[in-house]
């Protein structure tokens, strides 16, 4: 078999994999301050109009527009924010402040910069429209409507919106538990001396941090020796404790690559080898009933396969609604002369040149290299079997977009 024969396209792989991930069973109620990043488990309806009353958008004077024919208008009341006003006495104006309730009978608010006020009352040359500078009751949200549907990820603005409804705690899905195991006899934990032939374990830290950013609970099974027995034991433990298992390394074709064989023996390997660069040897299957993604060992392949395969899978386990973001297409400031049958995710960043944004690719795309991922702010997508000339538009996925 040639190096690209029998590879599954990324789109086919995702189409097979994602429907297998449904929301985890189990919800919990969280106070707003402890709900950041979590996924709403039920629709949140609006209990009462927001804002609850017509209120002023400016500091100034509330008037009835028709009364302006009889200027000057005496100032009959003062309405700071937080006070319930009296109805506006006909033929008068009310001093009012931003956010304060507009009195019944008033139909516009004049900015204080546009009026003069003396002992006789208020005068203005303005001809306000009806409703000017009034934020109407229910402008933000109407009672009974759905403010946020189930499946919404709670960002700072959603938490603020829930507070504006008077909601103090929300039902959210429980965190997804993801087990990580890193395999390889060459691995040494950082902080220890490095004997000849060894390298520091990189992927354990990248994966742990990616999962933290996705608000998952991490079950860290640590470094697993390159033996069938150790791998089997670790996978069994992972399947008992986690909703998803992520491993790094040991999925390629060498005889030291035990992960795929152990996975097959304990469950199944439904998919192996994707038309993806980096990340070709990725394996998907199950250990018992627990889904598992066996990511390749190369550190940049771990990052890319997590972002493009594991992250969408995790979002579904979390109960997050599907997203269909329109990613920007930007001209490439690089070339690809040799088309590849694997879709390539190129470590890249945006640069301003000639008055517009271009995608600059790191010159070294080795999948063993993380320094290019640190230089980058995202991934440019080079489609399968495609040459790239300078200026050709490519999709740019920022790391932030991919983790959202």
Ligand X SMILES: Nc1nc2c(c(=O)[nH]1)N[C@H]1C(S)=C(S)[C@@H](COP(=O)(O)OP(=O)(O)OC[C@H]3O[C@@H](n4cnc5c(N)ncnc54)[C@H](O)[C@@H]3O)O[C@H]1N2
Q: Which residues contact 223 (CB under 8 A, 6 or more apart)?
A: 182, 183, 184, 187, 189, 201, 204
> DSSP secondary-structure letter at 150?
T
Give which of ligand X, ligand MOO, none residue 297 binds (C-beta under 5 to 8 Å, depending on kind): ligand X
Token pair 């409507």 is found at 145
Q: Is 121 in the site for ligand MOO (CB under 6 A)?
A: no
Question: Taking the complex as a whole, how short is the minimal distance between the CB of residue 284 and ligand X, in angstroms?
Answer: 13
The residue of the chain with the least Cβ separation from ligand X equals: 297
Question: Taking the complex as a whole, how short is the minimal distance between the CB of residue 282 and ligand X, in angstroms?
Answer: 8
**379, 358 Cβ separation under 8 angstroms:** no
> DSSP secondary-structure letter at 18?
G
Within its chain, how far is the Cα of 12 from the centroid? Answer: 23
- Retrieve residue 45's tokens: 């309806």
Question: Taking the complex as a whole, how short is the minimal distance between the CB of residue 175 and ligand X, in angstroms?
Answer: 24
Of residues 264, 304, 233, 277, the one with CA closest to residue 385: 277
Q: Is 301 in the site for ligand MOO (CB under 6 A)?
A: yes
Distance CA 129, CA 110 (A): 10
| 133 versus 203: smaller Cβ distance to ligand X | 203
Question: Taking the complex as a whole, how short is the minimal distance between the CB of residue 278 and ligand MOO, in angstroms?
Answer: 3
The interface with ligand X within residues 239-298 (CB under 6 A) comprises 248-253, 257, 278, 280-281, 296-298
The interface with ligand MOO within residues 362-391 (CB under 6 A) comprises 367
C-alpha distances in Å from residue 17, one per residue of 8, 194, 265, 311, 319: 12, 39, 20, 12, 15
The interface with ligand MOO within residues 251-280 (CB under 6 A) comprises 277-280
Q: Is 296 in the site for ligand MOO (CB under 6 A)?
A: yes
Residues making contact with ligand X (CB under 6 A) = 182, 184, 186-187, 199, 201-204, 248-253, 257, 278, 280-281, 296-299, 301, 367-368
Residues making contact with ligand MOO (CB under 6 A) = 277-280, 296, 298, 301, 367
């Amino acid at each position: 078999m040639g190096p690209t024969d029998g590879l599954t396209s990324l789109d086919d792989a995702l189409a097979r994999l994602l429907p297998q991930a449904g929301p985890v069973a189990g919800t919990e109620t969280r106070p707003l301050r402890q709900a950041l990043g979590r996924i709403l488990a039920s629709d949140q309806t609006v209990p009462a109009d927001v804002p609850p009353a017509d209120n002023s958008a400016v500091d100034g004077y509330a008037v009835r527009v028709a009364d302006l024919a009889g200027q000057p208008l005496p100032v009959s009341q003062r309405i700071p924010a937080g006070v319930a006003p009296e109805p506006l006495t006909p033929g008068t104006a009310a001093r009012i402040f931003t956010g304060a309730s507009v009195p019944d009978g008033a139909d516009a608010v004049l900015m204080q910069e546009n009026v003069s006020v003396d002992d006789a009352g208020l005068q203005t040359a303005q001809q306000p429209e009806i409703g000017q500078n009034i934020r109407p009751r229910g402008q933000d949200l109407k009672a009974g409507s759905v403010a946020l549907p189930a499946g919404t990820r709670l960002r700072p603005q959603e938490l603020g919106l829930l507070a504006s409804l008077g909601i103090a705690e929300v039902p959210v899905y429980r965190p997804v538990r993801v087990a990580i195991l890193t395999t390889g006899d060459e691995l040494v934990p950082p902080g220890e001396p490095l004997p000849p032939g060894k390298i520091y374990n990189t992927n354990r830290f990248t994966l742990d941090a990616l999962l933290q950013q996705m608000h998952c609970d991490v079950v860290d099974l640590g470094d697993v020796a390159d033996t069938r027995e150790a791998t089997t034991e670790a996978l069994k433990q992972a399947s008992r404790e986690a909703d998803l298992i992520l491993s790094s390394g040991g999925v390629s074709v060498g005889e030291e690559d035990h992960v795929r064989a152990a996975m097959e023996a304990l469950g199944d390997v439904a998919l192996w080898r994707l038309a993806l660069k980096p990340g070709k040897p990725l394996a998907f299957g199950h250990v018992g009933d627990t889904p598992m993604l066996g990511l390749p060992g190369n550190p940049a392949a771990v990052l890319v396969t997590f972002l493009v395969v594991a992250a969408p899978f995790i979002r579904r386990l979390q109960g997050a609604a599907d997203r269909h973001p329109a990613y920007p297409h930007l001209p490439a400031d690089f070339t690809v002369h040799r088309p590849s049958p694997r879709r390539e995710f190129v470590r890249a960043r945006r640069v301003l040149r000639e008055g517009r944004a271009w995608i600059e690719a790191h010159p070294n795309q080795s999948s063993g290299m993380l320094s290019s991922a640190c230089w980058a702010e995202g991934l440019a997508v080079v489609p399968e079997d495609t040459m790239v000339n300078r200026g050709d538009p490519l999709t740019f996925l920022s790391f932030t977009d991919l983790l959202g």
